[in-house]
A and B are shown apart, each in its own frame.
Chain A
Amino acid sequence: MPNKVTVSVKGLRKEYTRYQKRTGFKGFFRDIVHPQIETVQALQEISFELRQGEILGLIGPNGAGKTTTLKILSGVLYPDGGQVVVLGQLPQKRTQSFLRSISFFTGNRGFLQEATWDLSVLDGFIYVKDIYGIPNKVFQRKLDELTDLLQIKDLLRVPLRQLSHGQRVRAELVGALLWDPELLLLDEPTIGIDIVSQQAVWNFVKAYVSKHQTSTILTSHYIRDLEELADRLLILNEGVIVYDGPPSRFISEISPFSLIKVKFEQIIDAGQLIGYELIDFTPMEAIFRTPTTQVKKTVKKILDNLQITDISIEEPDLEIVLKEYFTK
């Protein structure tokens, strides 16, 4: 039986207005008399659903509308049109029960950083406990579980401001889950942290969501992470959904080309590879791109013209496909 719908978005629209400032002294006065205001369509009638326990990866270039979507789902922003229902409620009403059911975590700035910067990590968690009225026993159990999983047990008494960025992100993540939210919104959670911390965060999210069946929407610039983690991808571009489905299908649907990797017998010059579409090249190796329908022909050409020791055909990875797609 399919899980219940946690998030339902139908025809969601959102637009922003922003000032266009003129430069110079004259421009300053002209701005006062006649300000130039521009309207930006952040979201243009997007629709999607999220089911309980599902992980939805949101991808898109900067300004695509990813964070705006999350802010509307969390009730921070008012939609300009369409219907958004989250956990059976209208998010913009921001009822107590709604806010207790969701958690919006952003890697850019965290709640603990805003509220308890000078205090210890534990003081920050205690404040979260007070806000959500978490009983002491439940708090202790959750704290043990989360700090264990994210390996920050020994940092509890350290002032937040003295943590590294990666440690702080992990602490913020604990602070975002103490009240067992039903919906987790993660906006670029691993931005700016090292690869080890990134892996720790993703492993944690995977384990946590699978254990608690928390519906999750996450955005990331690290596309490979989403490919691995998300059940579904939702790709946004200029406020429009351009793809909604499993990550694997996106590659085959959107990317009508394949990659051919070859290793050369001896060092060769790039000039010898004219006529091939090169993606990557070192004197001993190269990656060619070719339309999927032309793979046989290209392989034959390579075998006929180049001295190689190894050849393999691969699907392009999501990162390359997206880069290509958005560049178009």
Chain B
Amino acid sequence: MNFRAYVGSAKMEMKNTLAYKANLVFYLTYVIIPPLAIFFLWSFILRDGKTIQTYDLTSMVTYFLITQLFVTNTPFSAWSEIGDGIRNGDLTLWLLKPIDHYFLYLFRLVGSWIPLWITSFGGVAIVFLALRHYIEFQSNIIVNLVTIIFWLGGIVFGFTLGYLFNLLAFWIDRSSGVLMLSSSAAYFLSGAVFPLDILPFKEIWLALPYKYCGFFPAQVYLGRVPNSEWPIEFVKLCSWILITVIFTKIIWRIGIKRYQAAGG
């Protein structure tokens, strides 16, 4: 594997993101405003010391701030650019390069987001400062580190799933509807709308891998996952990633034979 090519792809996308610096400022508002809206919603629902199952206002606000931050940065639809490229023939330009398409897009995606993540830190700091009385701060460095590891694993899983759905473009002229449906489902199943453990049939939702994209890292951060469970959950996450990557490769191999390379 030519690692330099992938690092180069990430660097190239970083430069692309940085080419429009004003976008970073706009992104800051995206990081600040939705969390504040969520806070106002839950502070109304859980006013006067009310709780929903094990969540009081502080744990709920913390949960949502973390999941929103993670889920917002998880590419459930990957880039619709991947499906568009298959449909309109732009894929040709990448097929001609000695580089694996899946890893190329994974690195490009991470590269494009690194400047946004760095920008996010500023926004997150403002939100955390403003809501400091309603947030459970995690002081254990190991727990913070494990949270980040699971979040990154969730990103890879979310990306792979999105990539897989994009490959439908080899068979379907317009796959954007399927992509929208799958990313909406993923958004809900990741725990971005409600904590999965307060939903009915929670055993089902918690058995699905989507939880690693939001719910699970937030639970780790809140200290609700015992340390002893971390390794087994990590193995499960890695297995899900491996299975989806293998499936992606199989679909790619079949799909690429159908590719029509539209356009001149």
B75-94 CB mask vs A (1 if < 8 Å, else 0) is: 00000000000000010111
B169-196 CB mask vs A (1 if < 8 Å, else 0) is: 0000100000000000000000000000
Please determine whether B93 and A111 come into contact, CB atoms closer than 8 angstroms: yes
**Contacts from B to A (Cβ < 8 Å):** 2, 4-5, 7-9, 11-12, 15-16, 19-20, 90, 92-99, 173, 256-257, 259-261, 263-264
Q: How far is the CA of A308 from the CA of B162 in the complex (A)?
A: 76
Please determine whether A76 and B8 come into contact, CB atoms closer than 8 angstroms: no
Expressed in whole angstroms, the minimum distance between the Cβ of A185 and any Cβ of chain B is 9
Please determine whether A114 and B93 come into contact, CB atoms closer than 8 angstroms: yes
Please determine whether A99 and B259 come into contact, CB atoms closer than 8 angstroms: no
- B264 — which chain A residues lie within 8 A by C-beta? 67, 106, 108-109, 187-188
Q: Does A71 touch B at the CB level, under 8 Å?
A: yes
Give 18 A-B contacts (CB < 8 Å), ordered by A residue. Answer: A16-B260, A19-B173, A75-B95, A76-B92, A77-B260, A77-B261, A100-B98, A108-B264, A109-B263, A114-B90, A114-B93, A119-B16, A123-B12, A127-B9, A131-B2, A131-B9, A131-B97, A133-B5
Please determine whether A130 and B263 come into contact, CB atoms closer than 8 angstroms: no
Minimal Cβ-Cβ distance residue in A for B16: A118
Partner of A130, one of B4, B93, B94, B95: B4
Give the size category of A's interface with B.
35 or more
Expressed in whole angstroms, the minimum distance between the Cβ of A219 and any Cβ of chain B is 10
Instruction: Known contacts A118-B16, A123-B12; decide if A133 and B4 are in contact (CB<8 Å).
Output: yes
Expressed in whole angstroms, the minimum distance between the Cβ of A189 and any Cβ of chain B is 12
Please determine whether B16 and A130 come into contact, CB atoms closer than 8 angstroms: no
Partner of A127, one of B12, B90, B92, B95: B12
Please determine whether B261 and A76 come into contact, CB atoms closer than 8 angstroms: yes
Please determine whether B2 and A133 come into contact, CB atoms closer than 8 angstroms: yes
Give the 6 A-B residue pairs with the shortest CB-CB distance, closest first. A130-B8, A118-B19, A99-B98, A108-B264, A96-B98, A131-B5
- B95 — which chain A residues lie within 8 A by C-beta? 75-76, 94
Minimal Cβ-Cβ distance residue in A for B263: A108
A95-131 CB mask vs B (1 if < 8 Å, else 0) is: 0100110111010111100111011000100110111
Instruction: Known contacts A116-B12, A130-B9; decide if A71 and B98 are in contact (CB<8 Å).
Output: no
Q: How far is the CA of A132 from the CA of B5 in the complex (A)?
A: 7
Q: Does A78 touch B at the CB level, under 8 Å?
A: yes
Instruction: Known contacts A71-B92, A77-B261; decide if A99 and B11 are in contact (CB<8 Å).
Output: no
Minimal Cβ-Cβ distance residue in B for A92: B257
Q: Which of A76, A108, A116 has the most chain B CB within a 10 Å cutoff?
A: A76
Q: How far is the CA of A96 from the CA of B98 in the complex (A)?
A: 5
- B8 — which chain A residues lie within 8 A by C-beta? 126-127, 129-131
Expressed in whole angstroms, the minimum distance between the Cβ of B196 and any Cβ of chain A is 37
- A126 — which chain B residues lie within 8 A by C-beta? 8
Residues of A130-182 contacting chain B, CB below 8 A: 130-133, 159
Q: Does A6 touch B at the CB level, under 8 Å?
A: no
A61-74 CB mask vs B (1 if < 8 Å, else 0) is: 00000010001001
Q: Which of B8, B257, B263 has the most chain A CB within a 10 Å cutoff?
A: B8
Please determine whether A99 and B97 come into contact, CB atoms closer than 8 angstroms: yes
